[in-house]
Amino acid sequence: MRRRLSVALLASTCLLGLGGEAQAQSKGDEAIKVCESQRAPFVQMRARNREIIGGRVVTGALVGALGGALVGNAATQGQSSDTRRTATIAGALLGGIAGGVDQYLAAKREITQDARELSRLIDTDARGTASRIESMITSINATGDCRQRQIAVWEQRLVATRTEYVRREAARAEALAAAPDDKTRRAVQGANKREAQTDGRVLAQMKTEEALIKAAINDDKALFNDVLQYFENDILAIAEAQARVEGTSTASIRGPAETYVAEVIPPAILASNSGVGSSSSAFGSSSSAFGSPASQPILASTPSAPPLPAAPPVYLQAATQLRATPAPQGAVLASLPLGAAVQNLGATEEAPAWIKVEHGGKIGYVLAARIGVAPPAGAKRPPTATAKAAPPLPPVWQAQVRRPNVKAANGQQAALMAQRDAYAQADAMTLSALGRLEMAVRQGNQVAGPP
């Protein structure tokens, strides 16, 4: 039996390792594509932006950039090469914007020569830009939600894989302890060593998949920044056009939006990062990697994410064990007393009799039959609040965005503020996903000792 298990596991591991770097790249692409539909608006926007290179506005920008670069280079003759290079680049950027603005204004003046109407048209364009950016924020959030679901599935597989690994280690120890003589002991030691090496390769593959998810998160951030950079240049050009028409400066057009900063507060789990590493998991199934067929796709459709912790908490109607997996044999994370308050994280599709909960910073599973909405009779009730209860804290993996209380007075300000909000939301989404991934790793690392 042990030999058949070893052969089957070795075959599974060998199949997982086929393909080398090409397969790793393919899996990396698959990890990104898990959230393909949510990323689609940004992908389409990036492609459209690149096509604009042949358009009328960019033609003017190229001419202006060439002129600006020549002026910047000429003005720094005799200075160091670094100074001349910097001046040439700065001149190209300013000249490019100026050339683009000239073409933009020329197009608008074909519609009207009236300065007031021209100003209104430009403001309308700016508000349209703000609206497009706000729709991009919606896509950023949708992508972030998708990554959270992807990681939630990965976490279930991680915990199941590590739990199975612990069981295998215990079985090897038992076999060694049961050896009746030295000859049998040496044979068991050899078999245990080979099986442990095979299991180690499975765990190493699981760690690679953690890196693939992290790479997908960073790819999302790079995509968002690429598109938002285009909007930044667009907003600057529109503000410059407005300033020319009204005979003022871009600073006065932008007003308080010039100093508008949306603050991103990192997740608590990243702020207390202890450098925890992972050596397990896969992101397409919630079952152990040791028990899944090698031909099963790594990425399957992801179920809905568990909801965020709800307020008020629910209560245990009997003393119970907080387990790492939704099963009676799951590793015990904590012993919870009668009446203990826990946060309900939602039901588990694969094990509907169990509920995922959070208690004391640990996330695990308890039987649904042992949860109630009120403390049970005989349990010590929490003190009655005399003041308004504080709002529930966000999950430790969720980043927060604080926005100043500033209202836009014109389209340029609305666009600039929306663009800075979008940058902040992209940062928050990235940090939240990385924080959730770290939480998953810590959950896996809590699986220790025999089940």
Nearest-10 crossing angle of helices 182-246, 115-177: 170
Which residue reads 């926005």 in tokens? 403
Would you place residue 306 in the very low, low, confident or very high pLDDT band (cuts 50, 70, 90)?
Answer: very low
Separation between Cα atoms, residue 64 and residue 56, nearest integer Å: 13
137-175 pLDDT tens trace = 999 999 999 999 999 888 888 888 888 888 888 899 999
Contact 108, 118 (CB under 8 A): yes
Is a pLDDT exceeding 60 seen at residue 313? Answer: yes
Give the number of other Cβ atoms within 10 Å of residue 384's Cβ: 5
DSSP 160-180: HHHHHHHHHHHHHHHHHHT--
Residues 299, 304, 308, CA angle at the centre, nearest 5°? 125
Is a pLDDT exceeding 90 seen at residue 433? Answer: yes
Q: Which of 289, 308, 269, 272 is nearest to 438 (CA)?
A: 269
- Is the backbone of residue 339 left (phi > 0), alpha (psi -120 to 50) or beta? left
- Who's near 385: CB < 8 A, 6+ residues apart? none
388 vs 250, more confident: 250
Q: Which of 28, 350, 437 is nearest to 160 (CA)?
A: 350
Q: How far is CA 225 from CA 65, 96, 140, 268, 430, in A?
A: 23, 21, 11, 24, 12
Q: Is pTM beyond 0.85 here?
A: no
Would you place residue 316 in the very low, low, confident or very high pLDDT band (cuts 50, 70, 90)?
Answer: confident
**Of 29-38, 57-66, 99-108, 441-450, highest mean pLDDT:** 29-38
- Which three-class secondary structure state does DSSP give residue 364? strand
Domains, the chain: 1-33+124-305+398-451 (no CATH), 314-380 (2.30.30.40)
Is a pLDDT exceeding 90 seen at residue 351? Answer: no
397-432 pLDDT tens trace = 889 999 988 889 889 889 999 999 999 999 999 999
Out of 33-37, 200-204, 258-262, 344-348, which region has the weakest mean confidence (pLDDT)? 344-348
**Of 192-201, 264-273, 423-432, highest mean pLDDT:** 423-432
